[in-house]
Amino acid sequence: MDYLFQRSLDDLVKGLRSQAAASGESRYVAKALEEIRKEIKATDPHIKAAAVHKLAYLNALHGVDMAWAAFQVVEVMSMPKFSHKKIGYLAASQSFTDSTDVLLLITNLLKKDLSSKNEFEAGMALECLSRIATPDLVRDLTQDVLTMLGSSKLYIRKKATLVLFKVFSKHPESIRVAFKRLVEKLDDRDSQVVAACVSVLHELARQDPQPYLLLAPELYRLLVESTNNWLLIKLVKLFALLMPLEPRLAKKIAEPLCEQMRRTSAKSLVLECIRTITVGLLDNTEVVELAAGKLQEILAASHGGDGEDDDPNLKYLGLQAVLDLLPVYPQLVTQSKSVIISCLNDVDPSVQMASLRLIVSMVSDSNLADTVQILMRYALSAEKIFCNELLSSILSTCSRSFYELVTDFSWYVGVLGELVRVPNFEQGKEVERQLVDIGLRVESVRKDLSRLARDFLIDSSTWENSHIHRVLAAAAWIAGEYVELAGDLFEIVEALLQPRMKKLPPSVQAVFLQAVLKILVHFASAAATAVDAEVVDKMVTLIRENAGSLQSHVDTEVQERASNLFGLISFIEDEAGSGEMLAGIREAFAKDLGPVSQFSQQRVVVPDGLEL
């Protein structure tokens, strides 16, 4: 009679919900668990089953571990009463894993229930098997599942067919024996079983499509005859996997595919057909035309006009599909250009990204400038993450294949300058790399670069954004490297040594110092007249004042470069011999640094006798 006092599941749930605080809830759960631990040991089946039921609830909805009760779960699964059995199976399905040791005990139980006259018991056992299958369990029960494929009950045949997939995955050798039996289900008198069979074939074909090619005629018949949407989608997907293996297959299914696209009102099927077309039918113009037409309808449907009735799903999927069809139907983009561009500031980030990907893939050298302009415009008003996606696309598209698309580098240097000033800019490293890279490769644009560098160094308002710092390093390097092209060198040295520079990261400061060194060398060695000599003095004083403290900087590189700089200064001030020295250094700096091929090292012949 104990069970009259046992807390039922209802009581448990109500009790839990009446706990206001989380701490109250966890105390309640702990108390309930204590009760369950006692109740679960009872011999009375009702008490045991109710305990397992409550435990399953706590496990499912509150993450309470129930691995310790595995044995009792098996006991409940073995109970004769359907109501108890079902609870046991639910708990097992939910909590058993590959490492549950009681799995060894349930083989016979499952065998018995799989062959039960009660179809629901058999169904339960099948479901549980599909969830907890281990290679051992499956090996022992494969034959039982295969027998169920021939059951007179549709309910059983359907479940058994789907569970076959699990059987095959856990016990691959069974495919040889069971394949024929599975394929027979394609001819089952009930469409749900046929659909189940196609589902399994599709999952199997995903791993290796070759063996299923011979089923093509059967599948073709189904493609033509079926009206069940779920089944059709699976069939279309299956054909997408088979088409690459047999070119004639594509031609054969072109017509039924078109027919389905024309007939159906389900956009899911239309989109699936389009995906399959992009896999193997892109050379068939009629099919592509139809697909493009359907896609345009979808895109049009996705925009409610005033933005209120927009269907975000269709927008997103539509854009993806346009990208897939792009290689053969670029007209789609030009036709829907304004729609696509307006998606750049859509409220949904996925739609924004899909739109961006589409625009980037349409870029050519003739529309590069326009595209960049559009992207910049949207970047200015976009929030941080997407803004940087836009900027990063501009950077990677323009630098693709060694700047293949860029015809006017002067323009591009201007773009880089604008880019850096965009409020949410974070692409410092890439811009640094490109500025230096372009300087090395494109001689004609070095003057523009120098001007840009000067602007960056002098306008310190941009220095606020920490991502600019790498760009500043590039600017300093450019100023130093192309020192003959820079305008007012004094101004630049002033900028390089302004007090704010001490707040920059040490690696950047180091580059700044080296630039100052180069400029000083250039200046001092070129100083011919007394007027020039005065300017050199002024420069030296400036350096002394501002960079003196850097000689004792914490960072070793900064310290070293600062010391070098001051060493140089003392040379300059010591008249004798400095002229030759300076000329020598200047010559070293005058040699152009060019990009080095990555294979150059290999070409260097290792001298005899050198052991590396």
Partner 1 sequence: MIRFVLLISRQGKVRLTKWYSPYTQKERLKAIRELSALILPRGPKLCNFVEWKGLKVVYKRYASLYFCICVDSEDNELDGLEVIHHYVQVLDRYFGNVCELDLIFNFHKAYFILDEILIAGELQESSKKSVSRVISAQDTLVENAKEQASSLSNMIAQATK
> What residues line the site for partner 1 (CB under 8 A)?
1, 9-10, 13, 17, 44, 46, 53, 56-57, 60-61, 63, 65, 81-84, 86-87, 90, 93-94, 97-98, 118, 120, 126-127, 130-131, 155, 158-159, 162-163, 165-166, 192, 195-196, 199-200, 203, 206, 228-230, 233, 237, 266-268, 271-272, 310, 312-313, 315-317, 347-351
Contact (Cβ atoms closer than 8 angstroms) between residue 34 and residue 7: no
Minimum gap (Å) between residue 229 Cβ and partner 1: 8
Minimum gap (Å) between residue 267 Cβ and partner 1: 6
Which residue number, 160 or 568, has a Cβ lying nearer to partner 1?
Answer: 160
Minimum gap (Å) between residue 302 Cβ and partner 1: 10
Minimum gap (Å) between residue 307 Cβ and partner 1: 9
| Angle (nearest 5°) at CA 210 between 207 and 216 | 115
Say which amino acid occupies 62.
H
| 303: three-class secondary structure by DSSP | coil
Contact (Cβ atoms closer than 8 angstroms) between residue 470 and residue 430: no
212-221 contact pairs (CB < 8 A, 24+): 212/238, 212/241, 212/242, 213/242, 213/245, 213/246, 213/249, 215/183, 215/186, 216/242, 216/246, 216/249, 218/183, 218/186, 218/187, 219/186, 220/252, 220/253, 220/256
Which residue number, 154 or 542, has a Cβ lying nearer to partner 1?
Answer: 154
Which residue number, 130 or 336, has a Cβ lying nearer to partner 1?
Answer: 130
The residues near 2 (Cβ < 8 Å, ≥ 6 apart) are: 42, 44, 47
Minimum gap (Å) between residue 242 Cβ and partner 1: 14
Which residue number, 99 or 334, has a Cβ lying nearer to partner 1?
Answer: 99
Which residue number, 126 or 475, has a Cβ lying nearer to partner 1?
Answer: 126
Which residue number, 33 or 485, has a Cβ lying nearer to partner 1?
Answer: 33
Minimum gap (Å) between residue 13 Cβ and partner 1: 5
Which residue number, 232 or 474, has a Cβ lying nearer to partner 1?
Answer: 232
**Token digits for 448?**
């523009």
Helix (H) or strand (E) holding 182: helix 174-184
Alpha-carbon span 280 to 293, nearest angstrom = 18
Minimum gap (Å) between residue 560 Cβ and partner 1: 47
| Closest residue by Cα to residue 457 from 430, 487, 491, 427 | 491
Residue with tokens 């056992």: 125
Minimum gap (Å) between residue 606 Cβ and partner 1: 45
| Closest residue by Cα to residue 495 from 542, 533, 449 | 542
Say which amino acid occupies 307.
G
Q: How deeply is 265 buried, as exposed, middle or buried, from its count of CB atoms within 10 A (0-12, 13-18, 19+)?
A: exposed
Minimum gap (Å) between residue 119 Cβ and partner 1: 9
Write down the number of H helices and E strands in the chain: 32, 0
Which residue number, 296 or 350, has a Cβ lying nearer to partner 1?
Answer: 350
The residues near 431 (Cβ < 8 Å, ≥ 6 apart) are: 395, 416, 419, 420, 470, 471, 474
Alpha-carbon span 169 to 113, nearest angstrom = 22
Minimum gap (Å) between residue 386 Cβ and partner 1: 14
Alpha-carbon span 396 to 552, nearest angstrom = 40
Minimum gap (Å) between residue 123 Cβ and partner 1: 8
Which residue number, 109 or 497, has a Cβ lying nearer to partner 1?
Answer: 109
Which residue number, 165 or 212, has a Cβ lying nearer to partner 1?
Answer: 165
Which residue number, 318 or 417, has a Cβ lying nearer to partner 1?
Answer: 318
Contact (Cβ atoms closer than 8 angstroms) between residue 296 and residue 289: no
